Structure 1
């Protein structure tokens, strides 16, 4: 029996494998937008009669809608298991729950709190585990983000620079690696006292050197924004950190993406945010500007989920078969 391929983080994929995922997302977007009934019927048969579990310990909007939509596209029935439906590792051991759930479904999309939870699911599951967010990684967002950048700035034919202005978190952990794998320069600007995880930093430096890219970290938001083709931020206060809001806002002073920072970016810059968005992160002037592609980015979560189901479930982790 071949080893199950799980999607834990982008750094676990080769450059080519990640490129295939982005290209498959682009392919399925074209299929979906074409409204070709024959194509829809062909794809709908791929997982007909199958079930896909959504094991969500955290609330969500885009992740749930995109995953359920992608499952429906391939003919699978999605089964949402929220924190009030099953108590993962509470009333039943993590091992027992994983063995039971994985025996009845074709894959598990897991949106959990701890990276340890994802690793435990992968260890004991008999089907692919798709990391739909944990405190360390967010690979589905990275696939969607690179598709969005490809569509609007074409990284295949243009040398680009992405600037992250904000916190060091799960989103930039995967996004920085993803960009470097596809030849995009990355600069990460975080407030004083906030650093990227050491293993992410080391991996990013290694990939940057291999792919002849620039990777830099700074605590200067203006330096980060200068000449950037893509400006990206995310929430400063993650779920569960609301108690620290006052302290966090003080720490992040000067890191709101506004017209002053945007003026330092490249003339045709694009602004991205994985949502939900708060005013302390970006002004309305930037968020709703012609440079903003946040809603196109959000829609692309659907096609990222389709690509992942195609590669990891339908093609059982065989990227070459999906290419």
Structure 2
């Protein structure tokens, strides 16, 4: 059998005049109260006495122990199976003695398990259950409603002693049993870097260039038309808004002779909007008119606007 034990460091040095030098612990170490021993920071308040004087387990913040755990006087939590086993597992030894020898589980009625303890017999529950406020009965824990985080990324169904995760249509449950991922084609991240328009695969991490502009014209604003599968962009210094299909087989210009600081697409209403910060305007053009060869645009807002630079749409709510 191979066992592992924690190793502590003592640095008490003696100088020529026979006086011990001051102990200096590392940046990630904790100095015991005896001032002659250093232990790692992670060993502080871990429920196990590592300093010879036990100071690493003193004045620790109290923990909230589970229904199948015993709370040492030092506030550390210990599984009930380690209590009253003839070996001191709590740093202060509070898991032994007391009523350990006289603690008889036959004196209480527990719906799941009974353990001996220095304070008498204790009822404990199996995983997924917890003790009721009084008595030795165990009740199911509803993990789906418990505060402290959602166990499932989409739908959680509580079961007796446990829970299971399910996904909405169009999603599959990952091997971890908690996370849902979309089925179908790989999700793509649309990225503009200087004069390149890139498609970045979020699963394969593959990078493809969708479009490249003149190296003197930096791509300034981009958006995506979910319905027609087209990407729109503006170029810094160029007075136009351009587009390209996701398969890169078609491309063109939406409108010319305009100044645009920011451009966005209403893929439901079939309009494209942009801001002109210099003129203090928000303008729009109908995409259906563009495809018919009539790129006429209109001013949506032109009063009381002071250099608008950014724009966002909520297509679902218009």
TM-score, normalised to structure 1's length? 0.21
Choose between structure 1 and 2: higher strand proportion.
2
Choose between structure 1 and 2: higher helix proportion.
1
Q: Whose RCO is larger (CA < 8 A, sep 6+)?
A: 1
Computing the radius of gyration from Cα coordinates, the structure with the larger value is: 2
